[in-house]
Amino acid sequence: MNKQLDIFVSYAHVDNEPLPGADKGWVTTLINGLKNLLGQKLGRADAYSLWMDDEVRGNTEVTPHIIEQIEIADTFLFVLSQGYLESQWCRLELSIFLSRVNESSGRIFIVERGEVEKPDNLSDLQGYKFWVKDDSGKLRILATPKPNSEEREYYQKLDDLAHELSDKIKYLKKIKKKENTVSTQEVTPITIKHTVFLALASDDLEEYRDDTKRYLEQQGVQILPKKNYSLFDDNSKQQLEQDLKQSNFFVQLLSEKTGHGLPQLQYEYARTVDLPIFQWCTNVNFKHVSDIHQTLLLQSTVIVSPLVEFQEHIISKLKSKSETKTEYRIGNPLVFINRIPNDIPVANKIKDFLKTHQISSCFPLSSNTLTKPKEIQQDLDKHLLQCNSVIVVYASATEYWLDEQIRYCQRIQVQRTQPFKIVAVYDKLFPNKQQLLSWGVPNLNIETLECVAPQDENCLPEFIRILRT
């Protein structure tokens, strides 16, 4: 018997009976494909050890030999199905492993062969779904009776499983090379420069989220959360907040589906910890979207573009955060004047007034049918990184839009070598216009300018005084 085993495979033998048209059972086919991929990812076919009981035991009890294998296994892969839950011997194998390894250790891998509830103590773990539903809601298990070359979902899920398993195996092997007294926290599987919170998505976006997770991880990015949240109990909410605080960015994929309020809830939590937010959305028919969900889809941080462009955008932002290529102009101040199209006349008056005081200014890129959302976002980021100060025009714009711009200034400030000298709200006073409340945004110097005309003492002259102090 080996002194150490990398992977123990647990499954119900009823799930491995070959169907007509297949010469091998579903589980055997899956594990054979997994072995090939693990050999490729680890460099050699013998770089790891895997044990699977090939005997058709039915309801035969767990043997001492099987128990020995579980007790020396570093990871436990089990094929979750109704047959697995009904088998007392399968459940015993799982409980033996859990008696020595915590369920949150990242060493349990769940292959979902059908839509089945996970055991209560593993309900938070993310499984690998080897099943899909068609538009009518009918469930189909992938690779039944056997895989075919056109079944992209099956091979992608198998590659994801092999990727996660190989990373865990490499990590555990590094630990074992250290002395037993060395803390496992001193060893990390890969050098991670950034952590991204990739929000849990609605069911229709699971494949897109998997693709994004895979892309970011290939760039050396750590992805949180590591497990699912129910978000209906205090423990899950605390874990969510903890994961968000450990992250550099909040990334979210959106569609017209509400996901039972999960996307909105995660977004609200991300705002409370002031994370930079990046959201992607498919083309949406707003006729079928509730008002609350429309508010989420219409955020200024939402980008509508091909998914691969959005993924590249995230990586470019992470790289710019590391490289800190911020230009900060000291001799000749540069003011970025942010405004909506309806307030361009007001913005032009501000620009003219600043020019008379030898202060340069710039505007955001104007949007039209030929302008891509990606270009608008890149232009906005460029201006916010290069300017000394910002004036946000609050004339005909909504207070909601204003709040989003202020918060985005706060998020972009973490990428600058120096903070903004001043972020000013040009409050164009109109009769009966609601007075702005004081701002409570940490680490951002915000001034509200009460402006009837640019030359008023409480307006641009006050801004220039602060700018030059």
DSSP label at residue 366: P
| Domain shared by 34 and 167, yes or no | yes
Let me know if residue 284 belongs to a domain: yes
Mean pLDDT of the chain: 83
Question: What is the pLDDT at residue 182?
Answer: 37
Question: What is the pLDDT at residue 174?
Answer: 78
Q: Using CA atoms, how far apart are residues 348 and 329, in angstroms rounded to an integer?
A: 22
> In the predicted model, is pLDDT for residue 206 greater than 90?
no
CA angle 156, 162, 164 (to 5 degrees): 105
Question: What is the pLDDT at residue 324?
Answer: 43
- Decide: residue 334, CB within 10 A, 0-12 exposed, 13-18 middle, 19+ buried: middle
Share of the chain above pLDDT 70, in %: 87
Write out the DSSP string of 44-74: STTSS-EEE--S--TTPPPPHHHHHHHHHEE
Domain count, the chain: 3
Residue 441, CA distances (Å) to 406, 425, 427, 444 in order: 8, 13, 18, 6
Q: What average pLDDT does the segment 190-212 reach?
A: 82
Full 3-state SS string of 192-242: CCEEEEECCCCHHHHHHHHHHHHHHHHCCEEEECCECCCCCCHHHHHHHHH
| Domain shared by 201 and 291, yes or no | yes
Q: What average pLDDT does the segment 288-309 reach?
A: 83
Question: What is the pLDDT at residue 265?
Answer: 86
| Domain shared by 230 and 89, yes or no | no
Place 59 in a pLDDT band, splitting at 50, 70 and 90.
low
Q: Using CA atoms, how far apart are residues 62 and 59, in angstroms rounded to an integer?
A: 9
Residue 239, CA distances (Å) to 199, 216, 225, 230, 233 in order: 13, 22, 9, 11, 10
Question: What is the pLDDT at residue 297?
Answer: 86
Give the tokens for residue 24.
């091998």
Question: What is the pLDDT at residue 126?
Answer: 84
| Domain shared by 180 and 54, yes or no | yes
Answer whether the bond into residue 442 is a cis peptide, omega within 30°. Answer: no
| Domain shared by 186 and 197, yes or no | no
| Domain shared by 309 and 361, yes or no | no
**Of 158, 173, 190, which residue sits at a domain end?**
190
Q: What average pLDDT does the segment 292-315 reach?
A: 86
Q: What average pLDDT does the segment 404-420 reach?
A: 84
Q: What is the pLDDT of residues 210-220, one digit of tens each?
A: 889 988 888 88
> In the predicted model, is pLDDT for residue 319 greater than 90?
no
Residue closest to 119 by CA, chosen among 69, 81, 173: 81
Higher pLDDT, 125 or 104: 125
Least trusted range by pLDDT, from 147-156, 263-272, 371-380? 371-380
Give the tokens for residue 358.
């030898």
Q: What is the pLDDT of residues 177-197, one digit of tens each?
A: 653 433 333 333 334 468 999
- Strand extents, DSSP E, 199-354: 221-224, 249-254, 277-281, 302-303, 334-338
Place 436 in a pLDDT band, splitting at 50, 70 and 90.
low
| Domain shared by 213 and 273, yes or no | yes
Let me know if residue 329 belongs to a domain: no
> In the predicted model, is pLDDT for residue 157 greater than 80?
yes
Question: What is the pLDDT at residue 236?
Answer: 75
Q: What average pLDDT does the segment 303-332 reach?
A: 71
Q: What average pLDDT does the segment 161-179 reach?
A: 82
> In the predicted model, is pLDDT for residue 365 greater than 90?
no
Is the Cβ–Cβ distance between 241 and 269 less than 8 Å? yes
Residue 5: CATH number of its domain: 3.40.50.10140
Tell me the three state secondary structure of residue 270.
helix
Residue type, 290: S
Strand partners, 254: 281
50-54, 269-273, 282-286: range with highest mean pLDDT? 50-54
Q: Using CA atoms, how far apart are residues 252 and 412, in angstroms rounded to an integer?
A: 18
Place 441 in a pLDDT band, splitting at 50, 70 and 90.
low
Residue 389: CATH number of its domain: 3.40.50.2300
Least trusted range by pLDDT, from 23-27, 120-124, 366-370, 408-412? 366-370
| Domain shared by 19 and 167, yes or no | yes
**Of 295, 323, 351, which residue sits at a domain end?**
323
| Domain shared by 318 and 433, yes or no | no
**Of 172, 190, 208, which residue sits at a domain end?**
190
Residue type, 62: V
Is this prediction's pTM over 0.75?
A: no
Higher pLDDT, 385 or 189: 385
Residues with Cβ < 8 Å from 232, sequence gap 6 or more?
Answer: none
Place 293 in a pLDDT band, splitting at 50, 70 and 90.
confident
How remote is the C-alpha of 38 from its chain's centroid? 25
Q: What average pLDDT does the segment 401-428 reach?
A: 86
For residue 432, what are the domain limits? 334-468
Let me know if residue 328 belongs to a domain: no
| Domain shared by 305 and 345, yes or no | no
Is the Cβ–Cβ distance between 162 and 34 less than 8 Å? yes
Place 57 in a pLDDT band, splitting at 50, 70 and 90.
low
Q: What average pLDDT does the segment 50-67 reach?
A: 74
> In the predicted model, is pLDDT for residue 54 greater than 70?
yes
Place 429 in a pLDDT band, splitting at 50, 70 and 90.
confident
Question: What is the pLDDT at residue 435?
Answer: 56
